[in-house]
């Protein structure tokens, strides 16, 4: 674990002041609390599982250190806690009965619930992570279902984070695999930022970029060892996830850690994919399949010479604002998703003249950009193998998605967020449909995978 790297990143962060990750770190909870909150009353928040795994010990450590402890707030172990707003209301109402500082012991969902509830009570909180399952520990915002729609509710990141490697190592394998997939997704999200930067849509911020990208290969380099429970690989993973969250804090946007692969994930999330599975389909597993999908699309685009586009023809066939809105509406089946997608798509809409201007810039920068993006990426096949080695799903069928819906995801995902990604590049160069067709043709990346999947079921 590079404490220096994390400490340097903390200097850039807006909310989080301390991170302690090491074997035996649970014992450091009282000291980390004292340094970052001083005295006061504490309430441990957990669920039945995480209380068992680490919550009891945290409670005991804090008690022994002389803190006044409230009765722990423990959500039931079964059914698995879901990130829905009613849970936030329940916890918020309980927190309002006192003024104790929450110390959450758990991973993604619990952290998100406590993050938002604490914010609604205008209280800072501390997090003790129990699985290296996503990069949200040190990120702001909570991903919560409210009014039937999954959304990111705003709230600051925890003031302090502690994670005990021994606890993380023993977390369920699918949780660690999910964290790995979330982290490996920064390969494609980085490529998207390079594209947005070159086209002058969103400049790269050197600090935000470095925090996430500089050591990404090192953090993700040993998936098989990670799956086998190796401590150093777990350490690399959690360092990457924590740094990724701090990168978002530093840049004050998730651009540093989320591109088109996350748009696939968010689309499927909003469509309710895997919500009723047991356990529910994780964020990371959706991101993993999205990353392979995006890497495969990049491969086809990088084969082409985008300096050679027929700009006039593309300009003439570019949809008007109204046509663009119509094309978004026909693609979505859920009314809430449709409205959100229209709003996001129109927020990034450019006129035919602006398109021509952007494409002329693309022609100019393409040779350099092609090289940079090529260096940033890895082949889709390699990405797929790494995910498999870590124990992650890599095909739509494995996450319960039909091939047809998967194919449509390329176009649908482009519409749901205004963030500029490779999906926009492909759309604006008139190549999105062609590339998707090529990917799903019998000899294409997904065409071959469909065949293999078919063979397996025979
Ligand atoms: Zn993510």
Distance of CA 419 to the CA centre of its chain: 14
> What's the CA-to-centroid distance between 135 and ligand 1, angstroms?
6
The count of other CB atoms within 10 Å of the CB of residue 233 is 24
Mean pLDDT on 105-129: 97
Kindly report the pTM of this predicted structure.
0.96
DSSP states along 335-350: HHHHHHHHHHHHHT--
Q: Residues 322, 325, 331, 335: is their CA dihedral positive or negative?
A: negative
Say which residues have a Cβ less than 8 Å from residue 257's Cβ, sequence separation at least 6.
135, 139, 185, 186, 189, 212, 244, 245, 247, 248
Mean pLDDT on 179-200: 98
Distance (Å, whole) CA 71 – CA 73: 6
Distance (Å, whole) CA 88 – CA 118: 9
Nearest alpha carbon to residue 439 among 251, 303, 307: 303
> What's the CA-to-centroid distance between 388 and ligand 1, angstroms?
18
Q: What is the pLDDT of residues 220-232, one digit of tens each?
A: 999 999 999 999 9
> What's the CA-to-centroid distance between 317 and ligand 1, angstroms?
35
Question: Which CA distances in Å does 141 have to 119, 157, 206, 457?
Answer: 10, 7, 23, 41
> What's the CA-to-centroid distance between 335 and ligand 1, angstroms?
25
Mean pLDDT of the chain: 95
Question: Is residue 456 scored above 70 in pLDDT?
Answer: no
Tokens read off for 131: 């699985």
> What's the CA-to-centroid distance between 91 and ligand 1, angstroms?
25
Nearest alpha carbon to residue 15 among 98, 118, 91, 108: 118
Distance (Å, whole) CA 214 – CA 9: 12
Ion ligand 1: protein residues whose beta carbon lies under 5 Å: 182
- Print burial letters for 103-140: b (CB count within 10 Å at least 16), e (below 16): bbbbbbbbbbbbbbbbbbbeebbbbbbbbbbbbbbbbb
> What's the CA-to-centroid distance between 269 and ligand 1, angstroms?
12
Q: What is the pLDDT of residues 383-428, one digit of tens each?
A: 999 999 999 999 999 999 999 999 999 999 999 999 999 999 999 9
> What's the CA-to-centroid distance between 39 and ligand 1, angstroms?
34
> What's the CA-to-centroid distance between 406 and ligand 1, angstroms?
19
Distance (Å, whole) CA 451 – CA 448: 5
Beta bridge partners of 42: 69, 101
Per the CB < 8 A criterion, the answer to whether 155 and 116 are in contact is yes
> What's the CA-to-centroid distance between 184 and ligand 1, angstroms?
10
């Amino acid at each position: 674990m590079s404490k220096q790297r994390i400490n340097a990143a903390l200097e850039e962060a807006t909310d989080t002041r301390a991170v302690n990750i090491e074997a035996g770190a649970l014992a450091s909870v009282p000291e980390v609390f004292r340094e970052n909150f001083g005295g006061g009353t504490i309430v441990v928040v957990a669920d039945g599982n995480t209380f068992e795994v680490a919550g009891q010990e945290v409670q005991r450590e804090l008690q022994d250190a002389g803190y006044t402890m409230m009765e722990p707030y423990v959500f039931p172990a079964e059914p698995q806690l879901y990130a829905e707003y009613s849970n936030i209301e329940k916890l918020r109402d309980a927190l309002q009965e006192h003024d104790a500082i929450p110390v959450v012991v758990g991973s993604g969902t619990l952290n998100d619930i406590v993050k938002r509830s604490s914010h609604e009570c205008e209280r800072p909180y501390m997090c003790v992570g129990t699985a290296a399952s996503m990069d949200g520990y040190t990120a702001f915002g909570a991903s919560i279902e409210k009014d039937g729609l999954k959304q990111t509710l705003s709230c600051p990141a925890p003031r302090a984070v502690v994670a005990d490697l021994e606890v993380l190592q023993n977390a369920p394998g699918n949780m660690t695999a999910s964290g790995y997939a979330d982290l490996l997704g920064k390969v494609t999200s980085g490529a998207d930022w390079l594209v947005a930067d070159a086209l002058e849509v969103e400049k790269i911020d050197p600090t935000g970029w470095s925090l996430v990208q500089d050591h990404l290969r090192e953090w993700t380099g040993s998936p098989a060892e990670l799956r086998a429970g190796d401590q150093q690989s777990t350490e690399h993973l959690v360092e990457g996830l924590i740094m990724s969250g701090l990168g978002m804090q530093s840049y004050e946007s998730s651009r540093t850690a989320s591109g088109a692969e996350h748009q696939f994930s968010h689309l499927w999330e909003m469509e309710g994919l895997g919500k009723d599975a047991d356990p529910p389909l994780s964020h990371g597993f959706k991101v993993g399949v999205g990353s392979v999908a995006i890497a495969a699309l990049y491969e086809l685009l990088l084969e082409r010479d985008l300096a050679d586009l027929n700009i006039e023809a593309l300009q003439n066939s570019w949809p008007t604002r109204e046509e663009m809105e119509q094309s978004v509406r026909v693609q979505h089946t859920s009314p809430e998703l449709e409205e959100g997608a229209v709003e996001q798509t129109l927020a990034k809409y450019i006129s035919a003249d602006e398109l021509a201007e952007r494409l002329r810039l693309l022609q100019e920068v393409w040779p350099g950009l092609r090289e940079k993006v090529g260096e940033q990426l890895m082949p889709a096949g390699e990405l797929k193998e790494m995910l498999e080695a870590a124990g992650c799903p890599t095909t739509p069928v494995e996450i319960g998605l039909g091939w047809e819906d998967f194919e449509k995801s390329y176009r649908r995902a482009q519409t749901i967020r205004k963030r500029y990604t490779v999906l926009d590049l492909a759309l604006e160069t008139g190549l999105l449909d062609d590339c998707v067709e090529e990917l799903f043709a019998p000899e294409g990346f997904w065409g071959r995978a469909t065949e293999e999947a078919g063979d397996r079921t025979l």
